[in-house]
Amino acid sequence: MRKKLFIIFQYCLPQHSLSRLVGLLADSERPWLKRQLIALFSRHFDINIAEAMPADYEKYKSFNAFFTRPLKPGARIIDPASNTITSPADGAISEIGYLDSDCLIQAKGQHYSLLALLGGDQELAQPFYNGAFATIYLSPKDYHRVHMPFAGQLEKTCYIPGKLFSVNQVTANHVPGLFSKNERLVCYFSTDHGPMVVILVGAMIVAGIETTWSGQVTPKSKTINSIDIKQNIALFKGQEMGRFKLGSTAIVLLPANKAKWNTSLMNGSAVMMGQTLGEFNS
């Protein structure tokens, strides 16, 4: 009953207005406010500030600056092998596996459509039918920058407006098509192994999604906004590509018969950015 009430409550909330309000508070540089927010958050989630740069709470000008803190060099080891696929983020595996035609697993008993996830673009979705996917949930305590699973050239981005349900396991289990309902940014890459997609999924009180090439994603209208990338944006394996201002989810999509995941990974497995998720088929 508690879980059902939690879901119903989210349907009733003004999701976008609440997220914008939280974003204003999180961006505030008022010393007393940012200190309070950082102190409360750090105590509640037991943040490992020692691995951050800087490793001093007072050095961050706002809560969002603290929340999207960079790591010290060497804090994460990125598998350098050319045939491996690494985790784009710290977090936990929500689901990992292979599509059944157009169908991805969201949670036990819950599935959703690849075509819906990609905003209805049949041409862009086609290479990923029967492909491989990995969904990684970033909890509030995690490092919140998203990195490349392997090297690629950015070809296109697509902002898809939507809801802002939270993306924890409760909502994954009870909100049908959660990841194809929520606001998200779809990033298409060409790589030496074929096309790849990395999707940054928004969520309740996520104050923003940023990319390293365009900054904060703030479309002027609430319609699907596709951009063909004209400039040369080539990102190497492990390079930062984006970040979440408050927690959410990253999804990696690969074409059919290209990759195999480590069989030790399953729902709930903790992963670190740069950790090997799988490898390409030879």
Please indicate whether residue 113 is annotated as part of the active site.
no
Please indicate whether residue 142 is annotated as part of the active site.
no
Q: How many CA atoms lie within 13 A of 205 on its CB side?
A: 13
Q: Which of 172, 248, 169 is nearest to 205 (CA)?
A: 248
Q: Which of 79, 90, 102, 142 is catalytic?
A: 90
What is the dihedral sign for C-alpha 212, 269, 161, 180? positive
**CA–CA gap between residue 278 and residue 264 (Å, rounded):** 10
Taking the alpha carbons at both ends of the chain, their separation in whole angstroms is 49
Q: How far is CA 143 from the centre of its chain?
A: 11
Q: Are 197 and 252 in contact (CB under 8 A)?
A: yes
Please indicate whether residue 190 is annotated as part of the active site.
no
- Residue ranges with strand state E in the chain: 84-86, 91-98, 103-107, 110-113, 132-137, 145-147, 152-160, 184-191, 194-201, 208-211, 215-216, 225-228, 234-235, 240-245, 249-254, 259-261, 270-271, 276-280
Q: Which of 147, 174, 180, 193 is catalytic?
A: 147
Which residues are known catalytic residues? Answer: 90, 147, 248
